[in-house]
Amino acid sequence: SQQGEEDPQALSIQEGENATMNCSYKTSINNLQWYRQNSGRGLVHLILIRSNEREKHSGRLRVTLDTSKKSSSLLITASRAADTASYFCATASYSGSARQLTFGSGTQLTVLP
Amino acid sequence: EAQVTQNPRYLITVTGKKLTVTCSQNMNHEYMSWYRQDPGLGLRQIYYSMNVEVTDKGDVPEGYKVSRKEKRNFPLILESPSPNQTSLYFCASRPPGAYEQYFGPGTRLTVT
C-alpha cells in the first residue's frame, strides 16, 4: 500500500536556489526517511528522522516532521546541478515482526545550471 | 566494496518464459527485499526475507516467487511472466536493527 505522497510531483529550479519537497502520510510511523534516485539507478538513503524528532540536518539537507499533521518536508539548500534526481519519502513501521518501508511516488527535481 | 548487486540489469523476454533475477549482498545483512517501481506508483514491495529460509509476501506478490537458501542471495523468480510485470525491479538489504535500506542498481524487465 502506498503510504507517502510527495508534493510537488516535479520541481524545476535554478542552481543556487533552495528546493523544498513535501511528504504526507496516513498512519502512525516509527520514522520517516528520504531517499534519492538518480535516473536509472538504485535508491540512496539520505536521512532518517524519528517520530519523536521535529527537525534534522545533514549537510545541505534539512528535514522536518510534523506527526500531528502527518507530514514531512525535505529542504535542499544552495542546490547544485548534481542534485537533479527523484526524491522519495518512505515511512517505516512495524508489520508483524518486520520493520517495513512504504514509499511514496516521488518528486522529480531538476536543477538548471 | 559493500554493495547489493543484481543480474541481469536489462532483460527483454516473452510472455510465459520463466526467468530469474538474481540479487546478492556482501554486507552480511539478514533482511532482504524486492520492490518494483512503476511510473506514478513509487516503489511497491513484492517479497521480503527476514533471514535464511524465512520469506514473506509484500504488497504485490502475485506472479512472483522468491527463495532464500543463503544469507547473501535472494533471487526473484517469475514462473510465467506477463506484460503487466514489465517494470523496474530493485533488490534491497538492511543491517540488523536498522531501518535504512541499501538498494541494488535495478533490473529493467520488459515482457512482450
To 10 degrees, the CA torsion angle through A76, A46, B91, B64?
-60
What is the Cα–Cα distance from B44 to B21, expressed in whole angstroms?
17
**Start-to-end Cα distance in chain B:** 36
List the single residue in A98, A99, A105 with the smallest CB-CB distance to B41: A105
- pLDDT given at position B41: 84
Chain B: closest CA distance from residue A45 (Å):
7
Q: What is the pLDDT of residues B28-45, one digit of tens each?
A: 999 999 999 998 888 999
Interface test with B, best of A35, A43, A91, A93 (most B CBs within 10 A): A43
Min CA distance, A65 vs chain B (Å)? 17
Q: What is the pLDDT of residue A28?
A: 87
Burial bucket for residue B3 (CB in 10 Å: 0-12, 13-18, 19+): middle
Q: Read off the pLDDT of each residue in B13-37 and give the average, rounded to a whole number.
A: 96
Cβ distance of B42 and A105 shorter than 8 Å: yes
Q: Do A106 and B106 touch (CB under 8 A)?
A: no
The pLDDT value recorded for residue A1 is 45
Cβ neighbours around B109 below 10 Å, total: 21
* Cβ contact A2–B104 (<8 Å): no
A25 to A30, A33, B41: CA distances (angstroms) = 12, 12, 14
Nearest-CA distance A17 → chain B (Å):
26
Q: Are B43 and B90 in contact (CB under 8 A)?
A: yes
Provide the pLDDT for residue A96: 58
Q: Please tell me the predicted confidence (pLDDT) of residue A97.
A: 55
**pLDDT tens, residue order, chain A (113 aa):** 446 688 899 999 999 999 999 999 998 888 999 999 998 889 999 999 999 999 999 999 999 999 999 999 999 999 999 999 999 999 988 665 566 888 998 999 999 99
C-alpha torsion angle, residues A42, A47, A52, A54 (rounded to 10): -130
Contacts of B102 in chain A (CB under 8 A): 45
pLDDT in tens, B61-88: 999 999 999 999 999 999 999 999 999 9
Strand boundaries in chain B, DSSP class E: 4-7, 10-13, 19-25, 31-38, 42-51, 54-57, 65-66, 76-78, 87-94, 102-103, 107-111
